[in-house]
Structure 1
Amino acid sequence: ASTSTKGEYKIQNVKNKKYLAQTNGILNLAGISPYSGLAFTVNAAEAPTSNEAIATSEVAVIAGEGQVTIAGAQGKKVVISNILGQVVANTVITSDNAVIAAPAGVVVVAVEGEEAVKAIVK
């Protein structure tokens, strides 16, 4: 883009030096004179909105052999159910990295305040 003296800008094709122009509402490339180009100005805008209020989850569910490890859920209630919906564990996590015994197969782990996830215990 090149600049004119009025604080306006014009877009120029580097290869053929022609300027972006507008004729009857259609954009095209016009002569090499900057006076034939379509002028535009750049206005300052507000800064983007911050993400400070967005909450992200740091809870991780890791299936192991005969157990499920739950990280980042200290103080939250956890319910582990088998695929038939039978509750196999119901507890409040007291550490940041808790290991809970679970039967082999598919289990559903529901951590308070999070979406339930499936895990395959070996």
Structure 2
Amino acid sequence: MRYPQIDKVALALVTSARKLRPYFQSHTIIVLTNEPLRKVLQNPDASVRLVNWSVELGEFGIKYKPRTIIKVQALSDFVVECKVPEDPPQLIFSEVSDPWLLYIDGSSKVFAGNTWAEGT
């Protein structure tokens, strides 16, 4: 809560780069963000933490692009797909024509109160 939003975004990118290092090394990564992440990471007057992160991220081919606006239709389709039904589905029980048979070896026990008793 004490850190600016841009620091949180940069930390998320650094953490992703550390965890996914082989992918970052073999592919060009495109970061879509509304934050001015490239400016902040390339600013020499930034905090020591951001400068260190910038050096660490410099070894990867990362491109920063502004995030595009989500089309209204795509957003409404997403909301419709993720809609939770109001009533949970009802379970339907039907009569079974062939009842199940259970064969036991006679070693069953019956629970009576707080103890187990031999059953039949």
User: TM tier, shorter chain?
Assistant: under 0.3
Q: What is the TM-score with the length of structure 1 in the denominator?
A: 0.23
Structure showing the higher helix proportion among its residues: 2
Q: Which has the higher contact order (CA 8 A, sep 6+)?
A: 2
TM-score where L is the length of structure 2: 0.23
More strand as a share of residues? 1
